Amino acid sequence: MEIKIEHKPTQERLNELGVFKWDIWIKEVSKFPWIYDSQETCYFLEGDVLVTPDGGLPVQMGKGNLVTFPAGMSCTWEITSNVKKHYYFD
């Protein structure tokens, strides 16, 4: 299972996906476990995060990244600066 990151996607790509119509999630600096029941795609407006899949290597992401998390993945989120993101579950 792999976390996919697009660095600085174009405005055109974001519009194609309808990113700016997606809900917004805001979270302060924190650390917590998370399990993805379904695939999530999100676009970070603010913040920095280290996501460590169970048994895997940590993945750094944050502002300006379009990220896809696979369904069935268990991980730990470590938010190092407050996060604001658009998100969508498939």
**Domain of 56?**
4-89
Determine the pLDDT at residue 40. 98
Counted domains in the chain: 1
**Model pLDDT for residues 21-41, shown as the tens digit of each residue:** 999 999 999 999 999 999 999
**Model pLDDT for residues 42-71, shown as the tens digit of each residue:** 999 999 999 999 999 999 999 999 999 999
Q: What is the CATH number of the domain that holds 41?
A: 2.60.120.10
CA dihedral 80, 28, 73, 51 (to 10 degrees): 0
pLDDT beyond 90 at 8:
yes
Determine the pLDDT at residue 83. 98
66 and 9 Cβ atoms separated by less than 8 Å: yes
Comparing C-alpha atoms, which of 60, 68, 81, 73 is closest to residue 13? 68
Determine the pLDDT at residue 71. 98
* Both tokens assigned to 10: 């174009």
Interstrand relation of 65-69 and 40-53 (parallel, antiparallel or unpaired): antiparallel
Q: Tell me which DSSP letter residue 9 carries.
A: -
